[in-house]
Chain A
Amino acid sequence: MKILLCFCLCLPLTLFAAENDYLLVLQDHRFQPSELVVPAGQKIKLSIENRDATPEEFESYELNREKVVAGKSTITIFVGPLSPGRYPFFGEFNERTARGALIAK
């Protein structure tokens, strides 16, 4: 019951939170920028634009996220609020080159 109440109280907060938009570009199976500084303690809206023709899967154990990005398309995921630190991510389909990290400060 308490959790349900908390859920209902938090809902408007999540709806009206200021948008923190960040963009990652995938090109030639590499993330640009490879390191992205984001504010800690806030929810972040992360867009990933895949300029390659082949699909990629954005994945991060540290962020607990995974999402397929089709070729020539853009997706959005929400992460955070994060505590300060480094959060590596990678493209599962091209793990050798597609690597990067979010730096929460």
Chain B
Amino acid sequence: MFATAIIVFREVFEAALLIGIIAAATQRVPGRNRWLAAGVAAGLAGSALVAASTSAIAEMASGLGQEIFNASVLGFAVLMLAWHNIWMASHSATLAANASAVGSAIRDGRRECSVLFIVVGLAVLREGSETVLFLYGVFTAGDGSALSMLSGGLIGAAIGVATGYAVYAGLLSIPLRWLFAATGALVLLLAAGMASQAARFLIQADLLPSLVSPLWDASALLSQRSVVGTLLHSLVGYEDRPAGMQLLFYLAAITTIGLGMKWAGKNKEIR
């Protein structure tokens, strides 16, 4: 039961972390609660669908469908997070001044909300499909431990959601002026971590060269299995044995999105 709780917690936590950060970042965006909830619901429905078609997905692209699917989901999520961050960079001043009644903010806010919906949906989809598969395996194994393992899963999910909420509440205690800078930095690092993971899937499928693998081995210093390592992996994409190509993707994402945010921040007075 304990092992089940940990596995489910790990998957739920990653999605909950992202949702907590995004929810804190968009607290002034009108109608965001509905969109966040819709994103979670769509993600869960998608998870069941993806889990049910695991074999079909795996067999696509001569057995490399899973990697291509995961890399695409991650890549799309990176694009959406980039859009979100650049939008926030140009609107955070308006939102912080509580000028949400301004027409343009609301009009743009609606587009931002659909991006929220997609980002949250993708995060839930990615982590959720593995959880559904795992619990399905537990359920069909049919030995007496199924009930105990399912309750372990529920406990893990509850703790995961609670941790995500704690992150959200913690972020909200930051004064608004600093909050947008903090969430902007967090989302930037989240997106870079996802870009690096996308690269790992493409390397695993032999679609990209690894360029030196591993680039370094920091497992003795900070193991990715440790609590801190797991947290940093979810938060900023930490890996103890990354491939060179992953670092390249990581840095490219940070640079591109960072420059976009800077540009949007500079141009916000004009718009």
Establish whether residues B209 and A7, one from each chain, have CB atoms under 8 Å apart when the complex forms: yes
Interface membership of A77, Cβ < 8 A: yes
**Cβ B54 vs Cβ A11 within 8 A:** no
Any A CB within 8 A of the CB of B204: yes
Known contacts A61-B240, A68-B66, A92-B7, A73 near B137 by CB under 8 Å = no
- Chain B facing A: main interface SS: helix
Q: Which residues of A have CB within 8 Å of B169? A: none
Interface residues of B in 233-253 (CB under 8 A from A): 239-243, 248
A55 in contact (CB, < 8 A): yes
Report the Cα distance A61→B243, complex, angstroms: 12
Interface residue ranges of B112-127 to A (CB < 8 Å): none
Q: Complex formed: what's the CA distance from A78 to B210 in Å?
A: 11
Chain A proximity mask over B210-254: 1 for CB below 8 Å, otherwise 0: 010110000100011100000000000001111100001000000
Contacts A6-B211, A75-B63, A96-B3 given; does A68 touch B130 at CB 8 Å:
yes
Q: Which of A11, A14, A57, A64 contacts B130 (CB 8 A)?
A: A57
Within 8 A of B (CB), among A13-59: 14, 43, 45, 53-57
Cβ of B83 < 8 Å from any Cβ of A? no
Q: Is A3 positioned at the interface, with any CB of B under 8 Å from its CB?
A: yes
Which B residues touch A71, using CB under 8 A? 137
Residues of B within 8 A of A93 (CB): 7, 133-134, 137-138
B17 to A: closest C-beta gap in Å: 19
A7 to B239, CA, bound (A): 23
Contacting pair B134 A73 (CB below 8 A): no
Question: Across the interface, which residues of B come within 8 angstroms of A92, CB to CB?
Answer: 7, 134
- Cα–Cα distance between A80 and B67 once the two chains are bound (Å): 17
Whether A64 pairs with B209 at a CB distance below 8 angstroms is no
B258 CB → nearest A CB, Å: 20
Bound: A55/B54 CA distance, A: 9
- CA distance in complex: A43, B209 (Å): 11
A67→B242 contact, CB < 8 A: no
Docked Cα-Cα span, A61 to B241, in Å, equals 8
- B158 near A: Cβ within 8 Å? no
The answer to whether the Cβ of B64 comes within 8 Å of any Cβ in the partner chain is yes
Cα distance A52–B59 in the bound complex, in angstroms: 18
Of B55, B130, B239, B240, the residue contacting A70 (CB under 8 A) is B55
Chain A: which residue is nearest B3 at the CB level? A95
B58 touches A73 (CB 8 A): yes
Name the 4 nearest CB pairs between A and B, nearest first: A54-B137, A78-B206, A70-B55, A70-B54
| 9 examples of A-B residue contacts, CB within 8 angstroms | A14-B209, A64-B239, A64-B241, A67-B67, A70-B54, A78-B203, A78-B206, A92-B7, A96-B3
Chain A residues close to B by CB (< 8 Å): 3, 6-7, 10-11, 14, 43, 45, 53-57, 61-62, 64-65, 67-71, 73-81, 92-93, 95-96
Please give the residue numbers on chain B whose beta carbons come within 8 Å of chain A beta carbons, in ascending order: 3, 7, 54-55, 58-59, 63-64, 66-67, 130, 133-134, 136-138, 140-141, 200, 203-206, 209, 211, 213-214, 219, 223-225, 239-243, 248
